[in-house]
Amino acid sequence: MSQVVLDTDVISFIFKSDSRAERFLPRTQRGQIISFMTEAELEQWTLQSRWGSLRVARFREFMIRFVVIPSSRDLVVKWAEVMVSARSAGRRIEAADGWIAATALLYEAPLLTHNPRDYTGVPGLRIVTGL
């Protein structure tokens, strides 16, 4: 299987053992990549949900399986291109989704997501869903 960038929603489904995760599991494997923004969104989720230390520790252990792509000059440029392209196409994209899309584009990998509409208007982005 080729490398795939996993969206925040997919990681959340897998961690929670959500029934929707089953649709994505065949396309995931150890070592798949995620954007630093996905990791940040998930850490925010643990704080907002007021998880206890044991659940946070279990979550962080779970996250070790993913390769987190940090910000870089190339990623910053790609993010700016994503944001401008989407807005030029008349589509609004959230900054966080822009980082995730930019990661997939920079690494020339498809984006595995449950919310493909979040990325409408991003040219060249290959989207894979579990639908």
Q: Where are the domains of the chain?
A: 5-128
Tens digit of pLDDT at every position of the chain (131 positions): 478 999 999 999 989 887 887 777 766 665 589 999 999 999 999 999 999 999 999 999 999 989 999 999 999 999 999 999 999 999 999 999 999 999 999 999 999 999 999 999 899 999 998 65
pLDDT at 55: 94
Closest CA to 115 of 4, 9, 6, 3: 9
The domain defined by 5-128 folds into: Rossmann fold (3.40.50)
**Residue 7 to residue 10: CA distance in whole angstroms:** 5
Output the pTM of the full model: 0.91
Contact 86, 122 (CB under 8 A): yes
The number of beta carbons lying within 10 Å of the beta carbon of residue 45 is 15
Contacts of 59 (CB under 8 A, 6+ apart): 15, 42, 46, 51
**Residue 28 to residue 6: CA distance in whole angstroms:** 8
User: Which segments of 64-117 does DSSP mark as H helices, in order?
Assistant: 73-88, 95-106
pLDDT at 1: 44
pLDDT at 131: 59
